[in-house]
A and B are shown apart, each in its own frame.
Chain A
Amino acid sequence: MQWETVIGLEIHAQLSTQSKIFSGSATTFGAEPNTQASLVDLGMPGTLPVLNEEAVRMAVKFGLAIDAELGRTNVFARKNYFYPDLPKGYQTSQMDHPVVGKGHLDITLEDGTVKRVGITRAHLEEDAGKSLHEDFHGMSGIDLNRAGTPLLEIVSEPDIRSAKEAVAYVKAIHALVRYLGICDGNMAEGSLRCDCNVSVRPKGQAEFGTRAEIKNVNSFRFIEKAINHEVQRQIELIEDGGKVVQETRLYDPNKDETRSMRSKEEANDYRYFPCPDLLPVVLEESFIEQVRGELPELPGEKRARFESQFGLSTYDASVLSASRELADYFEAVQQVCGDAKLAANWVMGELSSLLNKDGLEIEQSPVSAAQLGGLILRIKDDTISGKIAKMVFEALAAGEGENADEVIEKKGLKQVTDSGAIEAMLDEVLAANAEQVEQYRASDEAKRGKMFGFFVGQAMKASKGKANPGQVNQLLKKKLEG
């Protein structure tokens, strides 16, 4: 039987506010346990929450970016359950009246097609602390530094049809929140976490299959692997005559498998009700418009502009607009060299393989946009060839010069365009290869074509790559044809 996968994702993005959502404590990652936990974060008796306006502003930013309906009256609700790292015994969240309602996000798939994924809602809530089970023989340690960190929980529609699409969607959300400056997107530190709701159904069937929720998958790679594994598990289960049960599962990246955490029957009744300590928050039109005015150009807009303004392909434009930093870098290179296509090729080619090789982010690039732009300029004005340019690029990456001109000068890489000099050099090359010249002249057209490359190679070698390849071609032809 043919199966279709149906996926909906819940992404928790930690908002990069200076302080927590309901207290004045700082939100820095990695501080000593319980040093960033105030009376409020500790759930001390008698303490009360006060909403951080910046968290609301960030959520509204996100809502505007996904073209969503905004909840004009926001209500915070308590989600009640017991856990040691949940100090109050409830999580303050939003239920019936979330800040962000229905919206959508366009993602670019690998084949360059654009798919629209519906976003059901996004709501504000507080993060819990962390339970530490190592190092405490027979006990657990509780670190409440993270408790109260603002989260935006972004819930997608079940519009996603494969693990690859899921990854593309999470990447798009990742890029968007970073564009908006509302989340640092650091998945290793848990700033962006993903729960995957996965089900399968026979192709063509309208109703959804029973879903399992895989909790807390924390890298793009694991999202893909966890979903693929879960899809396979469900298909095998059904084909063996079994039934998928609604449950929460955990992905174990070491064993590459998901395993059951708790079933629907064991699930908590969270007893949501409006938090009586917080008043409803009414978003005024002026506030929304002010936030709208602060929106940067978004990935989708940027992609479209790169296509129309620079004539880039959808794929190239998508890659270059995937992060704000990369897009800024590309545009800076383009501005210096005035050639978008060359700039795109260099950024997506040499530069990105260099960064990949060294595991660097674009912000850490050893070659600045100005340096790369300057280098491309020298290709364009024929100072150097493309091949020499790669050497210059490597020299720049190794810090062997302030800019391309300096490297070219220092290493004497300037292209030779003086036809007299090239001719003299060619004469030497031909004289040294007299036998091959004889053969060439005796050959037919087809054979000559193949042999011509040999002479070009010899000539470029003799000139240490500096001779202008166009001129070499042209003059060599003339000389060989006699």
Chain B
Amino acid sequence: MHRLTLAQIARGLAAKDFSAVELSDALLARIGQLDPQLNSFITVTAEQARSQAQAADARRAAGENGALLGAPIAHKDLFCTQGVLTTCGSKILHNFKAPYDATVVAKLAAAGAVSLGKLNMDEFAMGSANESSHFGAVKNPWDTSRVPGGSSGGSAAAVAAGLVPAATGTDTGGSIRQPAALTNLTGIKPTYGRVSRWGMIAYASSLDQGGPLARTAEDCALMLGAIAGFDPKDSTCVDAPVDDYLATLNQPLAGLRIGLPKEYFGTGLDSRIADAVLAVVEQLKKLGATVKDISLPNLQHAIPAYYVIAPAEASSNLSRFDGVRFGYRCENPVNLEDLYKRSRGEGFGAEVKRRIMVGTYALSAGYYDAYYLKAQKIRRLIKNDFVGAFGEVDVILGPTTPNLAWKLGEKNADPVSAYLEDIYTITANLAGIPGLSMPAGFVDGLPVGVQLLAPYFQEARLLNVAHQYQQVTDWHTRTPAGF
């Protein structure tokens, strides 16, 4: 039962092959049995899951038939869940029970999805390895001595290990796509503004976007269809109709123009990953696609620009964690300054502090123009690169990551080497365009991901290409040994 996709679960529930209660009970048991090896959950909400599953069964019995009605899912622990611990992977929120539901959480609950719990993540979504969590590192089910990627590492590990068929994640610089690539999943970062950020604890507000991680493109389409759409509570959420992502999954790819940016295949890329990606290109050609070499010349500036903008926004977004109203407060503060210094000093981990410091510096008087303003200009150039490229091609294809999943602890001493792992994913966040990662094969038993990028609001196209590829390949159906 734990290998079923959301689409298969929908059919099984409709055919009464099993009930939502049976399904969630089975997965909760599996979480209890296997998660100690992975550490993918911070909180398991067994009781709530059971009552949601019962409610879903009752709705089905009453004639409802929604695709997600009774489907088990889990949420990255930065989505606020009313009355349930919402930690953001941080000590500073170790005791924070959110007083409200994020829009994404509320929409999935309304669709009848059953939430099994809250998933581990890099602290405040800052990281590419899920090693910065206050609740401990998450392990990659494909090799538990390796990282699952981050920051949505708990989401990726749980879905890859069959603890839950799909999960929510968030992507600020690659945090859905990179862990999806490292754990053989399909994950999509929607266009900025496609999914409401209300209730999503902010890391970098102008880059953050929620989205699904699942085993197939079809499941991503199902989940995205449920969470996308306008929300008056988020001023950056776009009031545009949501496409029927399922309806276009089966469109043929004949005539699809794929762009291969030469900068994505340069130095730094593991050549074995390059080979796997080019094999995907060959497969897509067989499905009728044409291929064109393109250039995205400002790629080299993406990491520096990102590591100014994201920390700058984070330094401000994380100011509210001050020990005054909620979350961690230091013992016996002697005065206000002591309260601030120790609550934040003791409550935040090293990577979060590093980015708050970098961001504070970048916004300081005398440095603003040199860093923040310049980074914004680079951001515009990167966006222009994409706008130009999409004049010639329909989608852009390349590797999701330059390397395979690395060993736990391997990059701890060298944060910049970890930052460089996001080189191919960060540009989509800076430009605001949608991006998808899907399984593209294996190297030394470790998954390889391929990334597809499309123009604004063309999530349907990304899901269509991925789904068509998954109809003629079986990488996405492979499962890690032991799970």
A80 with B235, Cβ < 8 A, contacts A39-B100, A42-B325, A142-B324 known:
no
Contact B325 A43 (CB under 8 A): yes
* Nearest CB of B to A299, in Å: 36
Q: Which residue of A lies closest to B198 (CB)?
A: A48
Of the 9-residue stretches B48-56, B140-148, B264-272, B311-319, which lies at the interface with chain A? B311-319
User: A89 to B321, alpha carbons, bound, how many Å?
Assistant: 8
Stretch of B67-75, B200-208, B472-480 contacting A (4+ beta carbons < 8 Å): B200-208
Q: Is A277 an interface residue (CB 8 A)?
A: yes
Q: Which of B352-405 contact A (CB under 8 A)?
A: 360, 363-365, 368, 372
Please choose the segment from B91-99, B178-186, B289-297, B451-459 that sits at the chain A interface, where 4 or more of its residues have CB less than 8 A away: B91-99
Name the one of A50, A84, A276 contacting B206, with C-beta atoms under 8 angstroms. Answer: A276
Cβ contact within 8 Å between B235 and A271: no
Q: In chain B, what residue has the closest Cβ to A24?
A: B233
A45-B98, A45-B201 known; A273+B235 contact, CB < 8 A: no
Is B322 part of the binding interface, using a Cβ–Cβ cutoff of 8 Å? yes
Closest A residue to B78 by beta carbon equals A46
B406 at interface, CB cutoff 8 A = no
Q: Which of B86, B197, B316 is A271 in contact with, Cβ under 8 Å?
A: B316
Which residues of chain B are within 8 angstroms of A88 by Cβ–Cβ distance?
319-320
Please state if B235 and A51 are interface contacts (CB–CB under 8 Å).
yes
Whether B235 contacts A279 by the Cβ 8 Å rule is yes
| Chain A 69-92 interface mask (CB, 8 Å, partner B; 1/0) | 000000000101010100111100
**Which residues of B have CB within 8 Å of A273?**
312-313, 316, 363, 368, 372
Contact status A89-B202, CB under 8 Å:
no
Contacts A44-B99, A276-B205, A279-B235; is A89 near B197 (CB within 8 Å)? no
A45 and B96 form a contact (CB under 8 A) = yes
Interchain nearest-CB distance for B89 vs A (Å): 13
Closest B residue to A277 by beta carbon equals B205
Chain A residues contacting B88 (CB-CB under 8 Å) are 45
Look across to chain B and name the residue whose beta carbon is closest to the beta carbon of A281: B235
In chain A, positions 182-230 with a C-beta closer than 8 Å to chain B are none
Dominant SS at the A interface? loop
Q: Is A232 at the interface (CB under 8 A from chain B)?
A: no
User: Cβ of A18 < 8 Å from any Cβ of B?
Assistant: no
- How far apart are the CA atoms of A277 and B199 in the complex, in Å? 13
B304 contact set on A, CB distance < 8 A? none
Q: Does B65 sit at the interface, judged by CB under 8 A?
A: no
B326 within 8 Å of A by Cβ?
Answer: yes
Q: Is the CB of A87 within 8 A of B320?
A: yes
| A303-346 interface code vs B (CB 8 A; 1 in, 0 out) | 00000000000000000000000000000000000000000000
Whether A80 and B363, one on each chain, are in contact in the complex, defined by CB atoms closer than 8 angstroms, is yes
Contact with A along B212-232 (1 / 0, CB 8 A): 000000000000000000001
Q: Quick check: A89 and B320 within 8 Å, CB to CB?
A: yes
CB–CB B232/A50 < 8 A: yes
Residues of A within 8 A of B322 (CB): 82, 84, 89
In Å, the complex CA distance between A78 and B372 comes to: 14
- B236 lies within 8 A of A277 (CB): yes
B234 on interface, CB distance cutoff 8 Å = yes
A50 touches B363 (CB 8 A): no
Q: Report whether over half of chain B's contact residues are helix, strand or loop; otherwise say mixed.
A: loop
B-contacting residues, A33-79, CB 8 Å? 39, 42-51, 78
Q: Report whether B325 and A87 are in contact in the complex, using a CB–CB cutoff of 8 Å.
A: yes
Q: Closest approach, in angstroms, between the C-beta of B148 and any C-beta of chain A? A: 24
Of A39, A43, A48, A89, the contact of B235 (CB 8 Å cutoff): A48
Q: Which residue of B lies closest to A269 (CB)?
A: B365
B235 to A50, Cβ gap below 8 A?
yes
Q: Judge whether A278 is part of the interface by a CB distance below 8 angstroms.
A: yes
Question: Given contacts A46-B198, A46-B201, A48-B233, is CB(A269)–CB(B364) below 8 Å?
Answer: yes
Assuming the contacts A39-B100, A48-B197, A273-B372, asked whether A90 and B319 have C-beta atoms less than 8 A apart, the reply is yes
CA distance A272 to B98 in the complex (A): 29
Partner of A50, one of B93, B233, B336, B360: B233
Closest partner residue, chain A, to B124 (CB atom): A45
Contact, CB under 8 Å: B364 / A271: yes
Contact of A89 among B98, B319, B368 (CB under 8 A): B319
Query: Do A44 and B326 touch (CB < 8 A)?
Result: yes
Considering the chains assembled together, what is the distance between the CA atoms of A323 and B98 in angstroms? 48
Contact residues in B for A277 (Cβ distance below 8 Å): 202, 205, 235-236
- Residues in chain B near residue A49, CB distance under 8 A: 235
Within 8 A of B (CB), among A86-129: 87-90
List A contacts of B204 (CB < 8 A).
276
Please name all residues of chain A whose beta carbon is closer than 8 Å to the beta carbon of B96 when the two chains form the complex: 45
Q: Which of A381-419 contact B (CB under 8 A)?
A: none
In the complex the two chains form, is A80's CB within 8 Å of B320's CB?
Answer: no
User: Is A78 in contact with B316, judged by CB distance below 8 angstroms?
Assistant: yes
Residues of B440-479 contacting chain A, CB below 8 A: none
- Shortest distance between the CB of A473 and any CB in chain B (Å): 77
Closest A residue, CB atoms, query B312: A273
Tell me, yes or no, whether B80 is within 8 Å of chain A by CB: yes
- Tell me which residues across on chain A come within 8 A of B199, comparing CB atoms: 46-47
What B residues does A78 contact at CB under 8 A?
A: 316
B residues near A50, Cβ cutoff 8 Å:
232-235
Does residue B340 face the partner (Cβ distance < 8 Å to A)? yes
Write the chain B residue with the least CB distance to A273. B363
Q: Distance in Å from the Cβ of A48 to the closest Cβ of chain B? A: 5
Contact residue among B100, B320, B363, B364 (Cβ-Cβ distance under 8 Å from A43): B320
Q: Are B340 and A82 in contact (CB under 8 A)?
A: yes
Cβ of B102 under 8 Å from chain A: yes
B79 smallest CB distance to A (angstroms): 8
Contacts of B202 in A (CB 8 A): 45-46, 277
B97 shortest CB reach to chain A, Å: 11
Measured between beta carbons, the chain B residues less than 8 angstroms from A272 are 363
- Least distance between A82 CB and chain B CB atoms (Å): 6
Residue of A nearest to B339 (CB): A84
A142 to B326, CA, bound (A): 13
In the bound complex, residues from chain B placing their C-beta under 8 Å from that of A43 are: 320, 325
B residues less than 8 Å from A90 (CB atoms): 316, 319
Interfacial residues of chain B within 324-343, with CB under 8 A of chain A in the complex: 324-326, 336, 340
Partner of B360, one of A44, A87, A271: A271
Chain A contacts for B78, CB-based, 8 A: 46
Instruction: State the CA gap A78–B359 with chains docked (Å).
Output: 14
In the assembled complex, the Cα of A400 lies from the Cα of B256 at a distance in Å of 92
**B196 nearest CB neighbor, chain A only:** A48
Q: Nearest residue in B to A84 (C-beta to C-beta)?
A: B324
Chain B's closest residue to A78 (CB) is B316
| A51 to B202 Cα, complex, angstroms | 19
- Residues from chain B with a CB closer than 8 A to the CB of A80 are 315-316, 319, 363
Contact bitstring B301-312, A, C-beta under 8 A = 1, else 0: 000000000001
| CB closest residue in chain A, given B318 | A89
Cα A112 to Cα B99 in complex, Å, equals 59
Complex contacts, A84 vs chain B, CB 8 Å: 322, 324, 336
Distance in angstroms between the alpha carbons of A264 and B301 in the assembled complex:
37
A86 to chain B, nearest CB (A): 9
Q: Are B234 and A89 in contact (CB under 8 A)?
A: no
Chain B residues contacting A51 (CB-CB under 8 Å) are: 235
Nearest CB of chain B from residue A341's CB, rounded to whole Å: 56
- When distances are taken between beta carbons in the complex, the residues of chain B under 8 Å from A89 are 316, 318-320, 322
Question: Which residues of chain A come closer than 8 Å to B205, judged between CB atoms?
Answer: 276-277
Query: Which residue numbers of A lie inside 8 Å of B, CB to CB?
Result: 39, 42-51, 78, 80, 82, 84, 87-90, 142, 269, 271-273, 276-279
Could you list 13 examples of A-B contacts with CB < 8 Å? Answer: A39-B100, A42-B325, A44-B98, A46-B197, A46-B199, A47-B198, A48-B236, A50-B234, A80-B319, A87-B320, A89-B322, A269-B364, A271-B365
* Given A46-B80, A273-B363; 11 other pairs, CB 8 A cutoff: A39-B100, A43-B320, A45-B80, A46-B78, A46-B199, A80-B319, A89-B319, A271-B315, A271-B368, A276-B205, A276-B236
> Nearest 3 CB-CB pairs, A to B?
A89-B319, A271-B363, A276-B205
